[in-house]
Amino acid sequence: MPVSLDAPRAARPSLTVLAGPTAVGKGTVSTYVRDHYPQVWLSVSATTRDPRPGEVDGTHYFFVSDEEFDAMARDGQLLEWAVVHNSHRYGTLRSTVERALERGLSVLLEIDLQGARQIRNTMPEANFVFLAPPSWDEMVARLVGRGTETAAEQRVRLETAKLELAAEPEFDHTVINDRVERAAAELVQLMGVDPEPAS
């Protein structure tokens, strides 16, 4: 089910960008926010990769073909886009984010580091939050444990993660993803939203 623009309005609407290294749990934290904090509007990215088990088109991502993504990029429909891990492309639909902000909603945008840097250039007033792992060993265990990549893909992602971790000083805030519920509460508090989840 697509994310609704009819979510309750927040007191201080803004755009918050959540980024961090691969396998740190950005998707897990943002999903928890979507499910427990209706006052936050979670932007849904477009991607050229295939859905993972349990992912739903229009809820987790808009899954599009390479040709469709080419058209979006060419026509200026993407606020940012990037090639991730030298394979698939991800991008943020400009229209959905702008409409949500115009409606006074607090928007959470979960993207990769390349995309965050593009947003920093185009919308420097946004709030930038870096999601960090409790430790390097914990991040490696999460990546290997989820079993969604081959061994070769895991090696590429871990090499990328080392570079991504070094980007932490570029962000306004850092949230440690030690427990999903706690990290989500800290994130929404940084957004200026009541950190108490909806019942």
Q: Is 21 one of the annotated binding-site residues?
A: yes
Q: Give Cα separations from 117 to 110, 113, 128 (angstroms).
A: 13, 6, 10
Q: Is 148 annotated as a binding residue?
A: no
Instruction: Say whether 20 counts as a known binding-site residue.
Output: yes
Q: Do 90 and 82 meet the contact criterion of CB atoms below 8 Å apart?
A: yes
- Please say whether the dihedral angle defined by the alpha carbons of residues 168, 174, 180 and 185, taken in this order, is positive or negative: negative
Residue 47 marked in a binding site: no
Q: Is 22 annotated as a binding residue?
A: yes
* Cα 173 from Cα 11, distance rounded (Å): 20
Tell me whether residue 19 is annotated as binding.
no
Any known ligand binding at 64? Answer: no
Q: At what angle do helices 180-190 and 26-36 cross, to 10 degrees?
A: 70
Residue 58 known to bind ligand: no
Residues in the annotated binding site: 20-27
Residues in the annotated binding site for ATP: 20-27
